Amino acid sequence: MTIKIIARKHDYSFHRSWEYNTVLSENDQEIIGVNNHTLVTNSDSSTFVTEERGLFYFSKEKWFNIIHIDQEKNPYFYCNLSSPFKKVGDILTYIDYDIDIKVDANYNYKMLDLDEYEENRQYFNYPNELDKRLKESMNYLISMIKNKESIFSEARLNAYYKKYEKINRRKFD
């Protein structure tokens, strides 16, 4: 099954979309899948096609999502503080809350876009409860990174990529 992923901002305005995403695992808690050379559309209507495959993790309860970018020389994780996802039919949506964490292959991480978060927090008037929830989620996510939990586990990550490769081979058999 393929889905379209749409990121929105706090006021539900369009932020970005990823057109073709293969779902590998879906249950009542999470969706995990891969996109590879998929069309991305930005809020300014510019587009590009991703160059590497990316494994994504979305939760229905946690306030973040995780993407593993499978670059040959420098694979990394890109984590977004976001709302839990909603899925209707073949469209998954979430709200992007600006703060990102980039994690290198050695699990060193760097916080990104904290200034953008502060600007949007003021602009959109994020409630204090939302600010608190996002900061708690950020700390939880950092703990997951440090402990190599969920898709930060190399074994789990590799298992999902193998599943994706198996699905792709079936398409061409």
Active site residue 53: no
CB contact at 8 A, 137 and 64? yes
Both tokens assigned to 27: 């249950």
Q: How far apart are CA 63 and CA 56, in angstroms?
A: 14
Exactly one of 16, 53, 169, 170 is catalytic; name it. Answer: 16
The single residue listed with the structure tokens 């792709």 is 168
> What span, in angstroms and rounded, lies between the C-alpha atoms of 134 and 82?
8
77 CB burial (10 A radius; 0-12, 13-18, 19+)? buried
Burial class from Cβ neighbours inside 10 Å (0-12, 13-18, 19+) for residue 161 reads middle
Give the active site residues.
16
